[in-house]
Amino acid sequence: MKKRFVCVWFHHLEADWFAMRKPALKMAPFVLAAKDHGRMVITAANALAEEQGIKKGMVVANARMILPALEVLDHFPELNDKLLNKLAEWCIRFSPCVAIDAPDALIFDASGCAHLWGGEIDYLTTIITRLNDRGYQVRVGMADTIGAAWAIARYGQSSPVIEPGMQSSALLSLPPASLRIEQELVERLYKLGLHQIKDFISMPRSALQRRFGQPFLQRLNQALGMEQEFIQPVQPIEAWQERLPCLEPIVTLTGIEIALEQLLNSLCKRLEQEQKGIRTLHLHCHRIDDAIITVSIGTNRPSRNLKHLFKLFENKLQTIEPALGIELFVLDAVKVEDHTAVQEKLWEKQGGLHDTQLAELLDRFTDRFGRNCFHRYLPDEHYWPERSIKASQSLEESITTAWRTDQPRPIHLFPNPQPIEVTAPIPDYPPMFFRFKGQLHKIIKADGPERIEQEWWITEGQHRDYYCVEDEAGQRFWLFRAGHYDAAKTYGWYLHGLFA
Amino acid sequence: MFAFETFPVDPYMLQPKSDIIRRLQHEILPLQGYKSALGRSSLKIDLDAINPAFPNATFPLGAIHEFMVNAPGTKAATSGFVTSIISSLMKEEGVVLWISANRTIFPPALSFFNIDAHRIIFVDLRNQKEVSWAVEEALQVKGLAAVVGEVQELDFTASRRLQLAVEKSQVTGFILNNNKKNNTNASLCRWQVQVAPSIPIDNLPGIGYPCWKVDLLKVRNGCPGSWQIAWMNGRFSTTTNKRIVYKEFHKKTG
């Protein structure tokens, strides 16, 4: 597709912003000034001030000579960048690829965008009116190259649109400054009597390069489309992104659902062609009051099942506040993984951990209860009971060591060992009685002890001597004594678990 | 002249009565929630002497089994009994979901019941409401071997929903009910498992094979009863042949 670029030039960016904040300033000439070597130098002036011949770079004292009523405001050093950034993000509604052209312009890659607004003239008119409504004075230009769009936006006299392929003829009557070259070079060209581009465009390239250098030639070539130029978009273009601009702002839940379904449908189709599946998906809703609301979902396994993805979004759609209406939906698959159709078939058959339906069920759980709601446990190489398992959130992770069955383990393990009172013969016989929560248990059968040492390289502490005991009723317990019997009574008896 | 007309012969008329009854039973059982009692023979759970308590002498799969765990000492015994049953369900590639709000199950112990503990997914939720939702959602998923849910209460409506879900998906649901009251609900079987003294291994001292007193309090179209059953070397075996048969209390519900 033939590239088309739009350049939006904010000729009084900062002044417009101040005027918006203080409506009284709209009717008065004012400038912004910053201290520079002990003088106040003007950094920006509004249109009224410029009419009087006050320009950027002048000293305030000189400007006051011209216009004694001139109002001088303080310059905010970072305001310009902030404003441009914000405007660039806002302008994503006009084109997915918006770049900042410091200090006071935006460049859109508008290839294939204009027809959505009914043609290039209408497209530009919309951009101008929308920005004017916000309070910004802009000039725009549209051309095949960034250089030409830039030139026409700043120096164009008639139409802001240069028809495809016509940039060389359109540029002829523009001054050399429209080529984005240094001021020094512009002055040199003027000195030589080259006041318009047509004065030197037909000169031999080698002569131009010799006299004005390579950068000048590069700029000329870029403007004419003989050399490619790239822009750095404010938001990188996602490969897996779907956009749905709405003619009328959407305010109802049903409307949002329909929009989401349409977006998911086209995204899933694309994913299917490329054999990919979604892991993380964001839905950005651009509201007409400039707010962007984002809801996101995640899956445990790559998926491109429209029904399933929609279901995950279902709860979250309720939280979207449309306010005055949503004019643009952007569905952004942030994390995409390979997901081939062959895999899908295999999974459907198996019904094990790789089951698609299981993964979808767990997605629904995650969506509703949070990331940490489910675990699998894998054996870990530790004897200490609490450390003998490790939790895993992944369905893929497989065991690296086998489950041990050489020593009995209780089916219920208390998170914290419960202290008990015990009557036990020394040195290391199992207890005869123990009392837990006021109830006395007489021990009939017992096994043990099984000594488990504390892993000193992890934490210090006493060892445990575990006993499996059974009381009169047949209840089976896992008890332990922490530490050795000693006079200082540093040992203690605990109930740690119940056997089946 | 008489012309002999040939009447269509009712096939039931030619069979002995017992055959007819058996056939009718086979037609009625699926309607009562015993879809798996007939056919699907690949998975069979052998509960030894308890088997005859069920219709067709088959442990019903694809149904809701409710276990009362309200009495002290029943929780550990029930977990043991349920995991023993699940171990046969997991012989194929199946995955089990264990959903609860305050879980104390210790996965390494499951390998004593021949279960690969890493094939159980533990879902730990904050409250009963979440557990009920998750259990119902999980029971609708085909391809799971079983779903275990630890709940505080299972009322009639909830149990009906669960039973309907499993009849569709053919997943077996084990609901560990901690309710103090044994209220009526739609689960197919209601059990109570209590601890019983272990059975010595080769007459050696110490703790032997785990043994439980299993009460089948309710089973639709079956015979409730009480048994002592032990888990020995990977299979169930009833220790006493003495079987107390409960007279089933039938409530006509129209």
Residue B199 sits at the chain A interface (C-beta within 8 Å): no
Q: B206 in a domain, yes or no?
A: yes
Q: B124 in a domain, yes or no?
A: yes
Q: B26 in a domain, yes or no?
A: no
Return the structure tokens found at A210: 């010799």
Total tally of structural domains belonging to chain B = 1
Q: Cβ contact (<8 Å) for A412 and B117?
A: no
Total tally of structural domains belonging to chain A = 5
pLDDT tens by residue, B67-105: 999 887 889 999 999 999 999 888 877 889 999 998 889
Minimum Cα–Cα distance from B92: chain A residue: A352
CB atoms within 10 A of CB B245: 10
Chain B residues near residue A470 by CB distance under 8 angstroms: 197-198, 207
| Backbone phi and psi for residue A274, each to the nearest 5 degrees, phi listed first | -95, 5
Residues A10 and A151 both lie in one domain: yes
Quote the CA–CA distance of A340 and B134 in Å, as a whole number.
Answer: 29
Q: Cβ contact (<8 Å) for A373 and B205?
A: no
List C-alpha distances in Å: B76 to A401, A413, B179, B195. Answer: 27, 10, 16, 8
Output the average pLDDT for chain A: 86
Residues A48 and A147 both lie in one domain: yes
Provide the residue range defining the domain that includes A217: 167-224
Q: Cβ contact (<8 Å) for B106 and A411?
A: yes
The H or E element spanning position B136 is helix B128-139
Which residue from A355, A378, A412 is facing B76, i.e. has the nearest CB?
A: A412
Residue found by looking up tokens 């920005």 in the block: A131
Residues A416 and A402 both lie in one domain: no
Q: Cβ contact (<8 Å) for A497 and B106?
A: yes
> What is the residue-wise DSSP string for A330-369?
EEEEEEEEE--HHHHHHHHHH-STT-HHHHHHHHHHHHHH
Q: A434 in a domain, yes or no?
A: yes
Measure B240 CA to nearest chain A CA, in Å.
16
Quote the CA–CA distance of A445 and A468 in Å, as a whole number.
Answer: 8
pLDDT of residue A341: 63
Residues A476 and A437 both lie in one domain: yes
Return the structure tokens found at A282: 């964001």
Taking 70 as the threshold, does the pLDDT of residue B4 lie above it?
A: no
Q: At B170, which CATH number?
A: 3.40.50.300
Residues A149 and A183 both lie in one domain: no
Taking 70 as the threshold, does the pLDDT of residue A395 lie above it?
A: yes
Residues A33 and A150 both lie in one domain: yes
Chain A residues near residue B108 by CB distance under 8 angstroms: 379, 385, 388-389, 403-404, 409
Q: Which of A254-263, A354-363, B223-232 has the lowest mean pLDDT?
A: A354-363
Q: A230 in a domain, yes or no?
A: no
Taking 70 as the threshold, does the pLDDT of residue B241 lie above it?
A: no
Taking one residue from A and the other from B, the number of pairs with CB-CB distance under 8 angstroms is 163
Q: Cβ contact (<8 Å) for A374 and B121?
A: yes
The angle, 0 to 180 degrees and rounded to 10, between the axes of the packed helices B128-139 and A356-369 is 160
Residue B117 sits at the chain A interface (C-beta within 8 Å): yes
Residues A15 and A113 both lie in one domain: yes
Quote the CA–CA distance of A99 and A232 in Å, as a whole number.
Answer: 6
A480 Rama class: left (phi>0) / alpha (psi -120 to 50) / beta: beta
Residues A316 and A425 both lie in one domain: no
Q: A232 in a domain, yes or no?
A: no
Q: B75 in a domain, yes or no?
A: yes
The angle, 0 to 180 degrees and rounded to 10, between the axes of the packed helices A214-224 and A205-212 is 130
Residues A398 and A418 both lie in one domain: no
Q: A87 in a domain, yes or no?
A: yes
Q: Cβ contact (<8 Å) for B122 and A374?
A: yes
Q: Cβ contact (<8 Å) for A404 and B108?
A: yes
Q: Which of A119-128, A331-340, A464-473 has the lowest mean pLDDT?
A: A331-340
Which residue from A357, A403, A500 is facing B210, i.e. has the nearest CB?
A: A500
Measure B85 CA to nearest chain A CA, in Å.
13
CA B161, B163, B164, B166: dihedral to nearest 10 degrees?
120
Output the average pLDDT for chain B: 83
Q: Cβ contact (<8 Å) for B125 and A369?
A: yes
Measure A354 CA to nearest chain B CA, in Å.
10
Residue B76 sits at the chain A interface (C-beta within 8 Å): yes
Q: At A339, which CATH number?
A: 3.30.1490.100
Q: A433 in a domain, yes or no?
A: yes
Give percent of chain A above pLDDT 90.
Answer: 16
Residues A59 and A144 both lie in one domain: yes
Q: A204 in a domain, yes or no?
A: yes
Q: A162 in a domain, yes or no?
A: no
Q: A369 in a domain, yes or no?
A: no
Which residue from B106, B138, B208 is facing A361, i.e. has the nearest CB?
A: B138
Residues A455 and A337 both lie in one domain: no
The residue from A383, A406, A429 where one domain ends is A406
Mean local confidence (pLDDT), B130-156:
91
Q: Cβ contact (<8 Å) for A411 and B211?
A: no
**ipTM computed for the complex:** 0.84
Residues A33 and A79 both lie in one domain: yes
Beta strand A276-287 pairing with A326-338: antiparallel
Quote the CA–CA distance of A240 and A334 in Å, as a whole number.
Answer: 7
Taking 60 as the threshold, does the pLDDT of residue A349 lie above it?
A: no
